[in-house]
């Protein structure tokens, strides 16, 4: 079977007409039409209902299109990967990271860009769980269990959150000595959460907090804690990077979820994306192991 016929058929469906497909391919409309007709003859089925105004896939055409499109995309990606092997990596890598762990990744990405100056990196910081395929994302850093079976995950480590305050806050308000002291203190509440289940030396305990400020982005919350606005529950890795934060009741905290680098399993990763994935995994795994 001539794969060019299959590729031409996919282009017709994607563009919505023989005319548009011919323009994309730099060929004549009659050439594209004959190519699809040859494909139908080879398969022994009709793939398209043709009218003067529109094209409509037959059930057989829909089934063939879905499989042919995936196969052609895989071949294109394989060709791209082979062409990149041995050559200097170049092109765009899009990565999405949650705001509460973003600071940990910046040095790793900066070092990667120094090593591979022709690779461009687009970082999407979002607290939403983005659809990687629909939004054209190559890699994502995510916490917790994956609910999408189409994704592959490489585990980085586990995040853990503990309470921190600034030296100025401790000087002004004093440091809590027991959990019973917490209600008398002011907290910077992350996403308005005022009731926490903390893990402690004698098991989990629930505490109720009071906060004048609530914020839904971790970098802003950390900035407020550093500025003395109150005590904050901050991921240990973020507090380490932020610096100038004093641990509060360090025996109590929240065991965080597992962190992973994820990517679509159906996608053959371009060489530049695989390099970025491996660089982040190596750097971040070592970082979390030291916490």
Q: Among positive and negative, which fits the CA dihedral 283, 284, 290, 291?
A: positive
Same-domain status, 48 and 184: no
Q: Would you state the pLDDT for residue 158?
A: 80
Same-domain status, 202 and 70: no
Q: Would you state the pLDDT for residue 237?
A: 80
- Among 44, 62, 84, where does a domain finish? 84
Same-domain status, 269 and 156: yes
Same-domain status, 15 and 36: yes
Q: Would you state the pLDDT for residue 1?
A: 64
Q: Would you state the pLDDT for residue 4?
A: 87
Same-domain status, 157 and 213: yes
Q: 29 is in which domain, residue-wise?
A: 3-84
Same-domain status, 68 and 107: no
> 189: number of CA atoms within 13 Å, CB side?
16
Strands 186-190 and 210-215: parallel
Residue range 109-119, pLDDT digits in tens: 999 999 999 99
CATH code, domain with 19: 1.10.10.10
Q: Would you state the pLDDT for residue 71?
A: 83
- Among 49, 67, 84, where does a domain finish? 84
Q: Would you state the pLDDT for residue 152?
A: 86
Same-domain status, 95 and 72: no
Q: Would you state the pLDDT for residue 285?
A: 87
Q: Would you state the pLDDT for residue 239?
A: 86
Same-domain status, 63 and 127: no
Q: Would you state the pLDDT for residue 231?
A: 97
Same-domain status, 217 and 205: yes
Q: Would you state the pLDDT for residue 267?
A: 60
Q: Would you state the pLDDT for residue 291?
A: 61
Q: Would you state the pLDDT for residue 149?
A: 65
Same-domain status, 66 and 136: no
Same-domain status, 107 and 51: no
Given a cut of 50, the residues of the chain with pLDDT beneath it are: none
Q: Are 108 and 123 in contact (CB under 8 A)?
A: no
Same-domain status, 186 and 144: yes
């Amino acid at each position: 079977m001539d794969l060019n016929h299959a590729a031409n058929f996919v282009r017709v469906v994607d563009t919505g007409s023989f005319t548009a497909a011919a323009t994309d391919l730099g060929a004549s409309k009659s050439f594209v039409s004959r190519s699809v007709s040859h494909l139908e003859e080879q398969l022994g089925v009709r793939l398209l209902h043709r009218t003067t105004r529109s094209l409509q896939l037959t059930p057989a055409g829909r089934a063939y299109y879905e499989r042919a499109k995936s196969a052609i995309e895989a071949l294109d990606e394989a060709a791209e990967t082979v062409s990149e092997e041995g050559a200097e990596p170049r092109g765009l890598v899009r990565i999405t990271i949650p705001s509460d762990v973003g600071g940990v990744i910046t040095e790793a990405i900066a070092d990667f860009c120094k090593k591979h100056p022709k690779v461009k990196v687009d970082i999407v910081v979002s607290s939403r769980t983005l659809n990687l395929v629909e939004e054209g994302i190559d890699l994502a850093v995510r916490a917790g269990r994956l609910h999408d079976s189409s994704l592959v995950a490489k585990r980085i480590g586990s995040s853990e959150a503990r309470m921190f305050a600034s030296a100025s806050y401790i000087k002004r308000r004093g440091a809590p000595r027991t959990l019973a002291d917490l209600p008398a203190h002011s907290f910077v509440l992350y996403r308005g959460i005022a009731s926490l289940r903390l893990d402690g030396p004698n098991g989990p305990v629930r505490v109720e907090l009071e906060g004048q400020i609530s914020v839904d982005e971790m970098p802003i919350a950390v900035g407020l804690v550093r500025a003395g606005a109150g005590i904050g529950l901050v991921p240990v890795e973020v507090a380490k990077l932020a610096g100038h934060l004093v641990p509060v009741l360090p025996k109590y905290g929240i065991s965080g979820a597992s962190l992973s680098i994820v990517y679509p399993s159906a996608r053959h990763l371009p060489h530049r994306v695989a390099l970025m994935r491996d660089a982040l995994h190596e750097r971040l795994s070592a970082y979390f192991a030291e916490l």
